[in-house]
Structure formats: structure tokens, C-alpha cells
Amino acid sequence: MRVSETKSFYDHARIPEVTKNAGFLPQSLVRTRTYLAKSAAEWKKKNPERMTFSILLKSRKTWIGSIELRRIYAGVYEAGIFIHPQFWRNGYATEAAKAVIRWAFRRCGAHRVQASCWVENKPAAWVLSKIGFRKEGRMRGYAKVENELQDDFLFGLTAAD
């Protein structure tokens, strides 16, 4: 993801439907710029720990979201996806997530990719299940969103799957 996409990313992170489902996004334009600058710098490393991919709508040449792939430790990665609500229910999240997950297994040497989502976020859980992730459990009090703890579901996908 490019630092030039800071405003789009920040505007996206401020949409209530997005914030509710992903409360850990940067909460200011300055923090967003810092976050994206660090993400861009990661790509220059031999073994990046966090890679942020832009999701672009080719027909409009428009940024519509992003996927972050973060290495937890050797061979294990965590994925997070954010799509602008205007583009929900079009298959873009599924298509983008499949490509990044395939990239993680083939290019990063992942043996496991995991993802989590708020228990109330049924569309995210459906997308993860649709691309092969298995629901592994409920993580109580996992994320603090708007000063309230929320439970998340943990999903996992292994190379053997």
C-alpha cells in the first residue's frame, strides 16, 4: 500500500461500519500516514513482518480497501481485510483474500494463515469460511472497540487444507 493512499485509507477507517468491525485501525490522519509509511518500508526488507496490499477496482482505478498480512512467527501469518462498505457483497473481499492467502503459502513459506473477526461480523465469517478457513474458537475479550471489549472468532487455514 502506498503512502499516497493515506487519505483514502483514513477516510475508510472512519466509516462506522468499518470501525465497528475493525477497531484497531489508525484513528488520525497522522497515525495513518505513519502506519502506511511503516508498511511501505516493510516491503523493502528481505523478510517483511507486515505486508499491506491495496485492493483496487480495476474498472474505476479506485482504491476500495486493503489486506494486511502479518508474520506472527516463522511460517504463521495473520490476515486482516478491509473493504469500503460501498463495495461489500460483490465478491471483492473473497477474490482479494484468496490471492493474498495463496501468495502467503507460495511466496512466504507459510504453513498456517489465521484471521479473526468480531462475532457479530457475519459477512466476514462467511468470507473466511468460503475461502477455506475453519472456525477454531471464540476469543473472549479479544479486541477493545470504542472502550468496550468484544469477542472475536479465530479462523485458521493450513497448507495441508
Alpha-carbon gap, residue 42 to 156, rounded angstroms: 24
What is the residue range of 45's domain?
3-116
DSSP 8-state assignment for residue 75? T
Domain membership of residue 16 (yes or no) is: yes
> Which range has the top average pLDDT, 7-11, 45-49, 79-83, 146-150?
79-83
Domain membership of residue 139 (yes or no) is: no
Tell how far CA 139 is from the center of its chain. Answer: 18
CATH of the domain at 25: 3.40.630.30
Domain membership of residue 18 (yes or no) is: yes
Domain membership of residue 76 (yes or no) is: yes
pLDDT score, position 21: 58
Alpha-carbon gap, residue 119 to 134, rounded angstroms: 14
Q: What is the pLDDT of residues 101-157, one digit of tens each?
A: 999 999 889 999 999 998 988 888 999 999 999 999 999 998 877 778 889 999 999
Neighbours of 79 (CB within 10 A): 24
Domain membership of residue 82 (yes or no) is: yes
Domain count within the chain: 1
Report, as an integer, the average pLDDT of 60-67. 82
Domain membership of residue 108 (yes or no) is: yes
Tell how far CA 23 is from the center of its chain. Answer: 12
